[in-house]
Amino acid sequence: MDERELIGSLSRMLDAAATADDCAAVRHGGEWLVLSTDMLHETTDFPAGMTDPEIGWMAAAVTISDIAAMGARPMALLLAVGLDRPERLTGITEGALACCRAYGCDLAGGDTDAHIELTIVSTGLGAAERVVRRSGARPGDLVCVTGYLGGAQAALSGCDRFRQRLIAPSPRVAEGLALNAAGATAMMDISDGLALTLHDMLAVNACGFAVETARLPLPAGVPQDEGRAFALFGGGDFELLFTIPPDRFPVAGVAATVIGCVVAERAVTVDGAPLPARGYMHRWAE
């Protein structure tokens, strides 16, 4: 059973909306509050050789990215840390605090515990007048991504010049807010790779997504075939995938690339052929 099947079984128990977006959204004080929680384990989620401050930064960044993907402003972050060695907490907190400060978020509290393996759960709170969900795409909208794709996977495959991109992700907070204000119709972050992300969007929209490999913004200096594979199937990039009506694009202050368009047929295609739902995914032994 993989993570998406598990979440499918949960959504039958919970309100479907609870599992359909990067964040849960609840109304309060005339706005939407958005909430996201991410569990990370040392051996499966953090590339080898990361320092404790780098681990703390990444734990905060993945959650802030989920808030950014709703087009919301981050307000507060909580960190629950299961520590294999208590002295690691200081470095982890320093890194998380630096990331929070960089994105205007308050590191507001947390919990600690002893644990065999370092385990970090970061939970974030954000707010927005209007949220951009995964659903909402309409045929004719452009399909776009911020920044470029495949850099984190290039680093995992040995290109050391992309290492910072892998270990110190920059959540697209300002971009998410600008895209929200500009009228993006659907949005999510690409941390599991473009192919899986497009299929996640497909699952909650009544339309499909047609992308073209020639348009994909690739990691510089990587051979083209490899770069395209990294861009489609590689995980660890924290860019935003969004759809937006053509007359609303480009958006001032947002570096983004059109990679395709929203189509009526409910399928994800690349250069006209079906794009497999493949990429980074948690998987348990069957």
Does residue 173 contact residue 236 with C-beta atoms inside 8 Å?
A: no
Of residues 21 through 50, those in contact with its own copies by CB under 8 A are 23-24, 26, 28-31, 33, 35-41, 44-45
Per rule CB under 8 A, is residue 54 in the interface with its own copies?
A: no
- Report the nearest approach of its own copies to the CB of residue 187 (Å): 17
Q: How far apart are CA 53 and CA 98, in angstroms?
A: 9
Does residue 34 contact residue 77 with C-beta atoms inside 8 Å?
A: no
Per rule CB under 8 A, is residue 16 in the interface with its own copies?
A: no
- Report the nearest approach of its own copies to the CB of residue 45 (Å): 8
Of 110 and 136, nearer to its own copies (C-beta) is: 110
Measured at the CA of 98, the angle between CA 94 and CA 103, to 5 degrees, comes to: 150
Per rule CB under 8 A, is residue 247 in the interface with its own copies?
A: no
Single out the residue of 8, 10, 253, 265 in contact with its own copies (rule: CB under 8 A).
10
Of 106 and 212, nearer to its own copies (C-beta) is: 106
- Report the nearest approach of its own copies to the CB of residue 71 (Å): 17
Measured at the CA of 50, the angle between CA 46 and CA 51, to 5 degrees, comes to: 130
Single-letter residue type at 51 = T
**All residues at 6 or more sequence positions from 93 whose CB lies less than 8 Å from its CB, including other chains:** 56, 79, 107
Per rule CB under 8 A, is residue 135 in the interface with its own copies?
A: no
Mask: binding to its own copies, 96-125, rule CB under 8 A, as x and -?
Answer: -x--------xxxxxxxxxxxx-x-x-x-x
Of 111 and 265, nearer to its own copies (C-beta) is: 111
Number of residues that bind its own copies (CB under 8 A): 64
Q: Distance from first CA to last CA of the chain, Å, rounded?
A: 6
Of 7 and 229, nearer to its own copies (C-beta) is: 7
Q: Which range of residues in 6-14, 138-146, 173-181, 210-218 is near its own copies by CB under 8 A?
A: 6-14
* Coil/strand/helix, residue 94: helix
Per rule CB under 8 A, is residue 93 in the interface with its own copies?
A: yes
Q: How far apart are CA 281 and CA 143, in angstroms?
A: 23
Per rule CB under 8 A, is residue 229 in the interface with its own copies?
A: no
* Coil/strand/helix, residue 110: strand
Per rule CB under 8 A, is residue 19 in the interface with its own copies?
A: yes
Per rule CB under 8 A, is residue 203 in the interface with its own copies?
A: no
**All residues at 6 or more sequence positions from 9 whose CB lies less than 8 Å from its CB, including other chains:** none
- Report the nearest approach of its own copies to the CB of residue 203 (Å): 16
Q: How far apart are CA 179 and CA 239, in angstroms?
A: 13
Q: Where are the beta strands (DSSP E) in the chain?
A: 24-28, 31-41, 73-83, 106-114, 119-128, 142-146, 186-189, 208-211, 240-244, 256-263, 268-270, 273-274
Single-letter residue type at 276 = P
Single out the residue of 46, 47, 76, 245 in contact with its own copies (rule: CB under 8 A).
76
Positions in the binding site for its own copies (CB under 8 A) = 1, 3, 6-7, 9-10, 13-15, 18-19, 23-24, 26, 28-31, 33, 35-41, 44-45, 75-76, 78-83, 85-87, 89-90, 93-94, 97, 106-117, 119, 121, 123, 125, 127, 282-284
